[in-house]
Structure 1
Amino acid sequence: MAVFSRIAGTGSALPQKVLTNKDLEQFVETSDEWIASRTGIRQRHVVSEGETTADLAERAARAAMEAAGVQASELDMIVLGTTTPNLIFPSTACLVQHRLGANGCAAFDVNAACSGFIFALSIADQFIRAGTCKTILVIGAETLTRMLDWSDRNTCVLFGDGAGAVVLKADAEAGILSTHLHADGGKKELLYNPVGVSEGFKPEEKNAGVRVLMTGNEVFKHAVKALDAVVDETLAANGLDKSALDWLIPHQANLRIIEATAKRLEMPMDRVIITVDKHGNTSAGSVPLALDEAVRSGKVQRGQLLLLEAFGGGFTWGSALIRY
């Protein structure tokens, strides 16, 4: 008998501290009007001193586990999408695993930038379909503000911190219908962080230091094109017309990109989950944060068809079609 994965529970976590566009005006050469008109962002949550990716991931995980009625001892695996881990190693997933008391199950991080949660979800889905695991915790968590150059107004206004999580359980009926993942490393220079371990730190270089470097206009064009293609791919793979979709839950990077995808699907914006105005771009945290808000607000109901999609540095992009 075929085995599928379904979402048994969702959860999320946001730092208490909020940084509005008006707050940014005090130390960045920008304005609320400029940011909002170009991105749709009004505010973002920012971690406080000592608050980490693992802290947010743990809170989101506990909320999802409570919603699913799952104990730590039932977890077979933890997959955590992040590009801002607590440490290079051990993985943040291992840190969260220990905090939850789920010691012994597999735990690892996935780095696909803003697509991290979609990639992690797809990996978890494959393990359940293969019959290897029955219950998997999937998390997307980021503290992007830790790696921002606050003098670069083209990037520092975009990002926020947060985490979202889901618990996947094996089921006879399909919850996750399909996932579709892609990457193009040839576009690396359009969106990246110039510091690593193997390449090291080169203080003499112009772009030295942990920071986000982005050619915004080019990223926008590639994102719209890639998301259009993966939306078509997802619908075709499932033999569905776009009218079958109940909700679009997109990566919350830029309202213009979201609107472009909705237009492609001929979906009214009241069937699109929008959190970018409140959260900014939380990278791997954005899709599960939006999903959890949609579920807990009562917008998303059991049995409805959801399209999740994301695009990030790498470039990476992907989608998940889910019968919630």
Structure 2
Amino acid sequence: MRNVGIVGTGSYVPDKVLTNADLEKLVDTNDEWIITRTGIKERHMAPADMPVSELCYQAALKALEDAKVGPEEVDLVIVATVTGDHAFPSTSCIVADRLGAKNAAAFDLQAGCTGFIYGVATANQFIAAGMYKTVLVIGGETLSKIINWEDRSTCILFGDGAGAAVLQPVEEGYGFLSFELGSDGSGGKLLTQPAGGSRYPASQDTVEKNLHTIQMEGKEVYKFAVKIMGDVSVNVLEKAGLSKEKVDLLIPHQANIRIVEASVKRLGISPDKVVVNLDRYGNMSAASIPVALDEAIRAGRLREGDIMVMVGFGAGLTWGACVLKWTKVGKMHD
């Protein structure tokens, strides 16, 4: 089994910024209330005519450039999203075509906010087993398009963006050291977009009842997230045979500052080892972790040999984490 790592990253967010002050004009809320409870100050919004494939494409271009990989070298494109351009064709096929990745297989993956973790775990298996050498994993969302802008409990939380990573074989001892994935479908009703699928096909009734927008039981999701984020981080480190003291960088899903702080406390690592950008982007679902990863790399927060943990939770309910010993040097000659 080959060792697999991330050899390039990229990210993209739309230009339009929606601040808390802007939201005060839309719903009964205020800047202080939002910051106190979520840590979010602003988020980016895609224009009405910009599909998620555009965000994914832009992030992918940067990741391929960073990895010094041509589109024709990509063997597989995985897009993690809950806001695909269409029910079908898959957003991954659209992105692969735009990139010119003519030799790539492509599929979408739906695991809510945990999507990027599920995506790199899946890509890791293809490369480790020897089936593929270069896999492009993208987490992208345009959540602004499925928000109920009259629901003040959810419309303040979400933003749009995309992050991408190129995975390839790396030297022995580097790259992904362990994964932990999980799900509990009994909690699916806590975070859902009820209509638009085969359970509740689109109708005048579903539109009038706002069933095509995000529905969330915030307190229950919060309780679940605080517990699972800490537990899965501990478990994935144990799988890698590492103690929490060995962690150089933690990249958690950027849902809510209180959830992040609680999981950091549970893991028992220094807050200065944690990447937090939710104040500028809000919760970008599957895009949160890869955008934060790309920003951390570009800010020089990861050095050769550093131990990094990425951890998330999301609709499903799903959760996942991975441990990575950092290197950007691919090993393609095997």
TM-score (norm 2): 0.94
Aligned position for 1:71: 70
Contact map agreement 2:74 2:103 (CA 8 A) in 1:
no
Equivalents in 2 of 1:197, 1:247: separation in Å? 39
Q: Percent identity?
A: 46
Superposed, 1:128-167 pairs within 5 Å as 128-167=127-166
Which residue number in structure 2 is paired with residue 14 of structure 1?
Answer: 13
User: Which position in structure 1 is the counterpart of 2:56?
Assistant: 57
Give CA deviations for 1:100-144 in whole Å, capped at 9, x if unaligned.
001231111000010111101100001011110101101000000
Alignment of 1:184-203 (within 5 A): 184-199=184-199, 200-201=201-202, 203=204
Alignment of 1:38-117 (within 5 A): 38-117=37-116
CA drift at 1:291: 0.2
In the aligned structure 2, how far is the partner of 1:22 from the partner of 1:104? 47
SS at structure 2 position matched to 1:164 = strand
Aligned to 1:176: 176
**CA deviation string 1:272-295 (max 9, x = no partner):** 000100000000000000000000
Q: Secondary structure at the match of 1:311?
A: strand
Would you say the 8 A contact 1:201–1:208 is kept in 2?
A: no
Partners of 1:55 and 1:202 in 2: how far apart? 28
d(CA) in 1 for partners of 2:74, 2:254: 29
Q: Which whole-Å CA distance do the structure 1 matches of 2:176 and 2:120 have between them?
A: 9
C-alpha contact (below 8 Å) 2:178/2:237 kept by paired residues: no
Where 2:140 maps in the other structure, the secondary structure is: strand
Greater displacement, 99-108 / 203-212: 203-212
Q: Is the 8 A contact 2:43 2:282 kept in 1?
A: yes
Query: What TM-score do the two structures reach when normalised by structure 1?
Result: 0.97
Any gaps of 5 or more consecutive residues in structure 2?
327-334
RMSD, aligned α-carbons: 1.2
Tell which deviates more after alignment, 202-211 or 172-181: 202-211
Gapped runs of 5+ residues in structure 1?
none
Q: Distance in 2 between matches of 1:19 and 1:27?
A: 11
**Aligned residue-pair number:** 323
For the 8 Å contact 1:5–1:170, the answer to whether it is kept is: yes
Which among 241, 244, 248 is matched to residue 242 of structure 1?
244
SS at match of 1:28: coil
Q: Which residue of 2 aligns with 1:223?
A: 225
SS in 1 for 2:108: strand
Residue aligned with 1:11, SS: strand
